[in-house]
């Protein structure tokens, strides 16, 4: 019958960790700085238990979950059930004065294979990178062709997840 089951509104927020509150050594609440302001987000118990990597101040995260409204919508309680690292503070610091640049071929063959959409997706994720359009890199049939600098890493059939992982990785 589904009695008692309430479908709460969901949220998906991206931002930088400003502060973390812990319980028994595990992060319980994360304050995320988002383009629209600071948001308190409680991590669900199951998420806290499963975390393979503990977030730190300065990390860029994507958090998804549900929102409870109290007092006629005046108070919103965010509870996250999913956490994804977009970039770690360590990776950003390791790059130091050399900001990560992602060159994406914007010529017709790569555009037919999703180079424009890739650009838009990366732009929307607000990663700590600079996007730069380039001409043909000779990988037309295996586009979108991408080069990540300063690592000089070349990618073909590139997608946003691959690029995000390389940017997040300290070795990248």
- Position among 136, 149, 160, 172 found at the interface with ligand FES (CB under 6 A): 136
Tell me which of 61, 103, 105, 127 binds ligand FES, using CB under 6 A. Answer: 105
Per rule CB under 6 A, is residue 143 in the interface with ligand FES?
A: yes
- Does residue 140 belong to the site contacting ligand FES (CB under 6 A)? yes
Secondary structure class of 100 (helix, strand, coil): strand
**109 lies in the site for ligand FES, by CB under 6 A:** yes
Of the pair 31, 140, the CB lying nearest ligand FES is at 140
Q: What CA–CA distance (Å, rounded) separates 142 from 105?
A: 11
Contacts of 133 (CB under 8 A, 6+ apart): 103, 104, 105, 106, 119
Rule CB under 6 A: choose which of 100, 145, 147, 148 binds ligand FES: 145
Half-sphere exposure of 34 (CA within 13 A, CB side): 18
Q: Does 129 bind ligand FES (CB under 6 A)?
A: no
What's the CA gap between 105 and 89, in Å, rounded?
A: 28
**137 contacts ligand FES (rule: CB under 6 A):** yes
Is 103 a binding residue for ligand FES by CB under 6 A? The answer is no
Residue 140 neighbours by CB under 8 Å, 6+ apart = 107, 109, 110
What is the binding site for ligand FES (CB under 6 A)?
105, 107, 109-110, 136-140, 143, 145
């Amino acid at each position: 019958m589904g009695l008692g089951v309430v479908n709460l509104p969901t949220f998906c927020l991206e931002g930088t960790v400003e502060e973390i509150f812990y319980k028994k050594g595990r992060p319980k609440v994360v304050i995320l700085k988002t383009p629209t302001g600071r948001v308190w987000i409680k991590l669900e118990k199951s998420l806290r238990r499963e975390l393979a990597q503990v977030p730190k101040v300065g990390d860029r995260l994507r958090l998804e979950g549900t929102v409870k409204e109290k007092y006629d919508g005046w108070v919103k309680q965010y509870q996250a059930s999913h956490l994804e690292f977009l970039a770690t503070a360590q990776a950003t610091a390791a790059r130091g004065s050399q900001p990560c640049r992602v060159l994406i071929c914007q010529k017709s063959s790569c555009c037919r294979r999703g180079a424009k959409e890739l650009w838009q997706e990366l732009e929307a994720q607000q990663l700590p990178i600079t996007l730069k359009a380039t001409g043909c890199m000779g990988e037309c049939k295996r586009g979108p062709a991408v080069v990540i600098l300063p690592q000089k890493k070349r990618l073909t059939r590139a997608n946003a997840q691959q690029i995000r992982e390389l940017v997040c990785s300290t070795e990248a």
